[in-house]
Amino acid sequence: MYRVITISRQFGSGGRTIGKMAAEKLGYKFYDRELVNKVAAESGLSEKFIEDSGEYANSTTSLLFNLSLAGNYGSGKMSLYDEIYVAQCRIIKELAEQEPCVIVGRCADYILKDRDDCLNVFIHTDMKNRAERIVKLYGQTEKSPEKRLKEKDNKRKVYYKNYTGRNWGLVENYHLALDSACIGLERCAELIAEIAGK
Amino acid sequence: MYRVITISRQFGSGGRTIGKMAAEKLGYKFYDRELVNKVAAESGLSEKFIEDSGEYANSTTSLLFNLSLAGNYGSGKMSLYDEIYVAQCRIIKELAEQEPCVIVGRCADYILKDRDDCLNVFIHTDMKNRAERIVKLYGQTEKSPEKRLKEKDNKRKVYYKNYTGRNWGLVENYHLALDSACIGLERCAELIAEIAGK
């Protein structure tokens, strides 16, 4: 029996939707936007800013530059991003303590790594299926869907590496990693609910 | 419907056993030792040598040294390891063509990447459960089980990187990645059979 489920996901993989469906099946709370809202309320910053901070890395600059920007390594000073991350850690830990829940993104798998009642899930799928999904959900933009996906993935990877020291998307960090197009969104949600609930 | 299932696995995770169970459920052929035997018969080398070649990397030497040893990069010459790999590629492709099957290890996920009827699975679990399993199956040795596991994982990682150019154990390379201790061996096999058979 797992009281907390974390969902890490590639952009456009349907991970958020799957997390929401799994939460409904289990009668668990679902935190995605709500988490952003809570961090915004605590920090006094806008929801937009908090949301963007989770993917702040500028893909046109190098990984090392991003890491130094965000982390202020060695300076002993916390950046605004660091402060948001610290607030987010505290809120995620509190939420996990309060009641059974599903938490999407925001390094929750790492932040809750010391709990033994936490099921860590990763949702991904191939570029073609993700491209179709983002165009359907968010429409076309000047950039190709493939470019948008690569940029977003890269930002999540850098964010995760910066705050956890881990590489994003390694099988060993998840109890369950599913290709959502191969397995189907509904079936993914059922599997998560089954494994979490047993 | 997937005609071919590849199982990549951490040492001691039960991946081989799960693969065998899934093959039985589906009525598919199962290739693990049989694959080694076939490569041995074709190459004239001993089964022991073929088996070891799949994990030839010496963990006391550096990754770069191993890569240069095995690959003969730039020299235009094939090492014995390369020749075994080439024979193995051909045999794996032939087997996949012949009849529905489950293939364990040996970069089969990469070798068969151009088939769209191939389900790629990764089986892993935490150090504690794997250590218990290898001691139960293979007994104690002078080395601690943790050291044996780390060495074996490292060898598989180097072997995979050398011949595929990919990093071993990235979620995006598998349709399904399962923690065998969390989900249970029998249930893992059922899930693979269900997803492959649908």
What mean pLDDT comes out for the span A22-31? 96
Can you give the length of chain B in residues? Answer: 198
ipTM of the complex, rounded to two decimals: 0.85
Contact B20, B30 (CB under 8 A): yes
User: Is residue B98 within a helix (H) or strand (E), and if so which, with residue range?
Assistant: helix B80-98
Instruction: Examine the pLDDT at A23 and tell me if it is beyond 80.
Output: yes
CB pairs under 8 A between A and B: 56
**Assigned domain for A148 exists:** yes
Does residue A175 belong to the interface with chain B, where contact is any CB pair within 8 Å? Answer: yes
Instruction: Examine the pLDDT at B73 and tell me if it is beyond 50.
Output: no
Q: 3-class SS at B107?
A: coil
**How many other β-carbons are positioned within 10 Å of the β-carbon of residue A4?**
24
On average, the pLDDT of chain A sits at 86
pLDDT at A53: 76
* DSSP state at residue A167: P
How sure is the predictor about A61, in pLDDT bands with cuts at 50, 70 and 90?
A: very low
- Cβ distance of A179 and B176 shorter than 8 Å: yes
Which long-range contacts link A139-147 to residues 24+ away (Cβ below 8 Å)?
A145/A12
**Assigned domain for B148 exists:** yes
- Cβ distance of A174 and B177 shorter than 8 Å: yes
Among A50-59, A110-119, B52-61, the range scoring the smallest mean pLDDT is: B52-61
User: Residue B74 is part of a domain; what is its CATH number?
Assistant: 3.40.50.300
pLDDT at A66: 46
Among A13-27, A144-158, B69-83, B131-145, the range scoring the smallest mean pLDDT is: B69-83
**Assigned domain for A198 exists:** no
Instruction: Examine the pLDDT at B183 and tell me if it is beyond 80.
Output: yes
Residues B198, B5: Cα–Cα separation, whole Å: 13
Higher pLDDT, A35 or B151: B151
pLDDT at A45: 78
Phi, psi (degrees; rounded to nearest 5) at B126? -75, 160
Residues A191, B122: Cα–Cα separation, whole Å: 17
- Cβ distance of A183 and B171 shorter than 8 Å: no
What mean pLDDT comes out for the span B62-89? 64
Please name the residue that has the structure tokens 């099957």.
B101
pLDDT in tens, A77-123: 677 888 888 888 899 999 999 999 999 988 999 999 999 999 999 99
pLDDT in tens, B37-53: 788 787 777 888 777 77
pLDDT at B55: 66
Give the list of residues 6+ apart from residue B73 with CB closer than 8 angstroms, or none. B67
**Assigned domain for B27 exists:** yes
User: Would the CA dihedral through A108, A112, A117, A120 be positive or negative?
Assistant: positive
Residues B32, A48: Cα–Cα separation, whole Å: 52
**Residue in chain B lying closest to A124 (CA):** B172
- Listing DSSP states for A58-78 in one string gives -TTS-HHHHHHHHH-TTT---
What mean pLDDT comes out for the span B148-164? 90
Q: 3-class SS at B89?
A: helix
User: Which has the closest alpha carbon to B61: B145, B164, B154?
Assistant: B154
Instruction: Examine the pLDDT at A15 and tell me if it is beyond 70.
Output: yes
User: Which has the closest alpha carbon to B17: B153, B146, B185, B142?
Assistant: B185
Does residue A195 belong to the interface with chain B, where contact is any CB pair within 8 Å? Answer: yes
pLDDT at B77: 67
Instruction: Examine the pLDDT at B171 and tell me if it is beyond 60.
Output: yes
Structure tokens at A28: 């668990």
Instruction: Examine the pLDDT at A32 and tell me if it is beyond 90.
Output: no
Structural domains counted in chain A: 1
Q: Name the minimum distance, in Å, from the CA of A40 to any CA of chain B.
A: 32
Residues of A within 8 A of B172 (CB-CB) are 10, 124, 169
pLDDT at A75: 55
Q: Across chain B, which distance is largest between two alpha carbons, in Å?
A: 48
Among A2-16, A145-159, B68-82, B121-135, the range scoring the smallest mean pLDDT is: B68-82
pLDDT at B76: 60
Surface-to-core class of residue B77, CB atoms within 10 Å of its CB (0-12 exposed, 13-18 middle, 19+ buried):
exposed
Percent share of chain A, pLDDT over 70:
88
CA–CA–CA angle B123, B126, B132 (5° rounding): 100
B101-104/B29-31 β-pairing: parallel
Contact B35, B108 (CB under 8 A): no
Q: Which of B126, B129, B154, B175 should we substitute to test contact with A (largest number of A Cβ atoms within 10 Å)?
A: B175
**Assigned domain for A89 exists:** yes
pLDDT at A167: 92
pLDDT at B68: 47
Residues of A within 8 A of B183 (CB-CB) are 175-176, 195
Higher pLDDT, A64 or B114: B114
**Assigned domain for B197 exists:** no
Structure tokens at A115: 């709990």
Instruction: Examine the pLDDT at A76 and tell me if it is beyond 70.
Output: no
pLDDT in tens, A130-186: 999 999 998 888 899 999 999 999 988 998 998 899 999 999 999 999 999 999 999
What amino acid occupies position A106? R
How sure is the predictor about A40, in pLDDT bands with cuts at 50, 70 and 90?
A: confident
Residues spanned by the domain of B140: 4-191
**Assigned domain for B196 exists:** no
Does residue A117 belong to the interface with chain B, where contact is any CB pair within 8 Å? Answer: no
pLDDT at A56: 60
Give the closest of A119, A171, A178 to B124, CB-based.
A171
